[in-house]
Amino acid sequence: MSTPVFEVPTEMREFAERSVAQARKAFEGFMGAVQKSATSIEAPVANPALAGAKDMSAKAVAIAENNVNAAFDLAEKLVHAKDIQEVMQLQSDYLKAQMANLQAQTKELGEAMQKATGVKK
């Protein structure tokens, strides 16, 4: 007996594509406003703690933006998936990549924290 094939109707796939594109565009607008706001805050040169906090904040925003963009990329790929096996493979690849990113991001934030607080290894 063959396994029944589930196919997403074209209209539903197109709606999902538009929704992902609209959500990404809205997020990009939001991130543009966040970055503009963050860069407009000037830390006094005489206060390295404020400069360190600004650097950490910029790193955290960049990390969040990268993670959300990765999720949007996954959503776009999922919209075009042909079957459940492809969906599972895409999800698995995404999780592996995000775990590797998490390790790098944790290291990056740790180094920024050490720099901001003046603590050395």
In the block, residue with structure tokens 């966040």? 34
Question: Phi-psi bin for 118: left (phi > 0), alpha (psi -120 to 50), beta?
Answer: left
Alpha carbon distance, N-terminus to C-terminus of the chain: 63
% pLDDT > 70, the chain: 83
Output the average pLDDT for the chain: 84
Band of the pLDDT at 41, cuts 50, 70, 90? low
Question: Stretch 99-103: mean pLDDT, rounded?
Answer: 95
Task: Give helix 48-79 / helix 84-117 axis angle, nearest 10°.
Answer: 180
| pTM given for the model | 0.74
What single-letter DSSP state applies at residue 44? Answer: P
- Residue ranges of the domains in the chain? 10-117
Taking alpha carbons only, the member of 36, 38, 18, 15 closest to residue 26 is: 18
pLDDT digits (tens, 9 = 90+) for 58-87: 888 899 999 999 999 999 999 999 899 999
